[in-house]
Amino acid sequence: MPKAEQTVIEINLNALTQNFNFLKSKLEPDTRFLAVVKAFGYGSDAVIVSSHLEKLGADYLAVAFTSEGVHLRQEGIKLPILVLHPQITDFKTIIDYCLEPNLYSFRVLESFIETCTELDLNNYPVHIKFNTGLNRLGFRSSDIKNVSELLKNGNYIKVRSIFSHLAASDDLLKDAFTRNQIEDFQNIFKELTDNLGYRPIQHILNTSGILNYPEAQFDMVRSGIGLYGFGNSPLFKNNLTPIITVKSIISQIHEIEPGESVGYNFGFVSDTYRRTATIPIGHADGIGRQYGQGKGYVTINEERAIIVGNVCMDMLMVDVTNINCEEGDEVVVFGQFPDAEEFSSTADTISYELLTGLSRRIKRIVNS
């Protein structure tokens, strides 16, 4: 790629291909692959990523909210799309755009059945989620009988999949808890399918589950963060490549004298002669104030430049006293070095938060 001339996010589709193929290599040939593209494709670009995954052979996509699925449909994405957290007010939109809702409570299930009844639909595909320990969304095992009765009352909907979500599949110290979740889910699945009289798709594994518990891949797996280059484990770090690199440039260099401050509220006061560089990216772009005052850093000409003072809305300043650089030089905020995991750790947060917080005002460039 040419050197950056403004703040950009480079999306590496070759890396996406490699990550997809690595994760697929952990699966049996007939195991389906659901790619999670919520939150604007984890901060990349959901349409670009979904289109490429469609070509690679993904079987399903998943988004958090209905509007995300609608956007993909409007951009021509044809794959089945699971809406993980649908709201009742969106049910007719879900149907209009051939999206598939996750029904996780009696309120949601009964309301969707009512909508399908009003529209006189037949066997509309839905997904049923059970809570096995994450305690976020999902029916409990004690609900199976009542859920079964609702699902068998008429043929307005048909269960496409039954699934659950692991709470700590990335932490092998919680192995017993995870295995208990998997066992509980197997029991739930068997009882519900026995009641239904047919066998929907069964799935529970997320990215860390694929890597640590492949024996529980069942009919389908779900991967989000792994596709974007992170496996939540140093064991797999070399097998996954971050698909995005955030780059910018040096807008201006300042010569700072002893006693001078940099940025708002005297966030940095120099005790000696320093050089600082101002970079056009800030907390409105997703690089929050928590990265300021010497915590976070960027890379300029392969050298580490520490963020000084408070991060501004549209800019941040770094110390380049010992770096050979000039105005207009390229800046790597994060990508390969540092990657999002390392960059986010400087502020005691995680790559998920950093990636999904990237502003959509930043220009996206495809690097394939």
Catalytic residue among 92, 152, 264, 363: 264
Residues 6+ apart with CB under 8 A from 271: 258, 259
Q: Which of 292, 339, 327, 326 is nearest to 312 (CA)?
A: 292
Amino acid at 27: L
CB atoms within 10 A of CB 332: 20
Contact (CB, 8 A) for 271 and 261: no
Residues 158 and 95: their CA atoms lie apart, in Å, by 14
Residue 368 CA to residue 365 CA, distance in Å, equals 10
Helix axes 144-152, 175-196, angle to 10 degrees: 40
- Dihedral pair phi/psi, residue 61, rounded to 5°: -120, 155
**Catalytic (active site) residue 295:** no
Known catalytic membership, residue 264: yes
- Catalytic residue among 38, 228, 291, 297, which? 38
What are the residue numbers of the active site? 38, 264
